[in-house]
Amino acid sequence: MNRRDQARSLTRRQRRGLTLIEVVVAISIVVVMSVIVMQTMFNAAEMGTLLSERDATTRSARVTMSLLRRELQLAFISQSGASPDRYKTLFIHEDDNPDKLFFTTFSHQRLYRNSRESDQTEISIWATPGEGKGYTLWHRESPRIDNEMDMGGPIYPIAHNVRSFNVRFLDPKTNEWVDEWASNTADTAGLPRAAEIGLVLIGRDPNDRDRTVDIPFLSTVIFQYAPPLPRRLLGGDS
């Protein structure tokens, strides 16, 4: 075979296209790689959504816990509550599921100049069944103290998808935690020394999109205006 024939044979081989089997194999490889890439992108987007939801849940819980800590820390009961020309201040906790709180506190902040308001305010915390999962935790604040501790003032939600909200209190007389507190009773008169706030929110399970998980938050707050613990409970001389 001379050089001209060799060149013609080489040109025919170069011009020849892919066989049917080669085309099928190439398409199969492209399809498999596309499926893998699409599944990876879907999983990454789903994980990003889950992390965003978890971050939003955590931020919501932190804001709620910060609000409750500040208001409980500044809770007070007026020493002149028995005076006929003054409204009686109370600290009432109902051990329910979720719990309820009604109390007066010095945590109010005036938003408008020259408004006839002080730092004293009434606070109510309670829950109702939510539109989605769990409960919705509500907050009511009345800038004026009156005889209706569960009426008046703006109401707004502070947490959604609440599984549970539980508060217990440190009794300054016994240095023991109790589940109920009412300042208008003999056993728990006055303010507790401290409170432990437990909040559980419902979040999506990162391992199963169709399931949920409980996300717990726990915090302890010391009451600023509560009576100090007895010296015998602090290790001092009686």
pLDDT digits (tens, 9 = 90+) for 151-201: 778 899 999 999 999 999 999 888 899 999 998 888 888 899 999 999 999
> What are the tokens at 76?
């007070």
CA distances from 46 to 53, 126, 204, 207, 222 (A): 11, 34, 11, 11, 41
- Determine, yes or no, domain membership for 124: yes
What pLDDT is recorded for position 137? 95
What pLDDT is recorded for position 236? 45
95 or 149, higher pLDDT: 95
What pLDDT is recorded for position 237? 44
- The predicted model gives 106-123 an average pLDDT of 78
Domain that holds residue 152: 51-222
CA distances from 208 to 52, 57, 68, 201 (A): 16, 17, 32, 17
- Determine, yes or no, domain membership for 189: yes
- Determine, yes or no, domain membership for 193: yes
- Determine, yes or no, domain membership for 87: yes
- Nearest Cα neighbor of 85 from 17, 44, 145, 32 is 145
Cα(229)–Cα(137) distance, rounded to whole angstroms? 32
> What are the tokens at 6?
């060799």
What pLDDT is recorded for position 4? 59
- Nearest Cα neighbor of 195 from 216, 214, 171, 168 is 168
Residue 217: pLDDT over 90:
yes
Give backbone dihedrals phi and psi of 63, rounded to 5 degrees, phi first.
Answer: -65, -45
Cα(16)–Cα(3) distance, rounded to whole angstroms? 20
β-strand partners of 93 = 101, 181
Q: Indicate the number of domains in the chain.
A: 1
What pLDDT is recorded for position 180? 92
170 contacts: CB under 8 Å, gap ≥ 6: 176, 177, 178, 192, 193, 194, 195, 196
β-strand partners of 203 = 213
> What are the tokens at 185?
């009773």
Mean pLDDT of the chain: 80
- Determine, yes or no, domain membership for 148: yes
Cα(154)–Cα(236) distance, rounded to whole angstroms? 46
Q: Side chain identity at 65, as an amino acid letter?
A: M
- Determine, yes or no, domain membership for 136: yes
CA distances from 34 to 21, 26, 29, 41, 46 (A): 20, 12, 9, 10, 18
User: Of how many residues is the chain composed?
Assistant: 238
Of all residues in the chain, the percent with pLDDT exceeding 70 is: 74
Q: Say whether 103 sits in a helix, a strand or coil.
A: strand
Q: Are 95 and 123 in contact (CB under 8 A)?
A: no
Cα(119)–Cα(71) distance, rounded to whole angstroms? 11
What pLDDT is recorded for position 186? 83
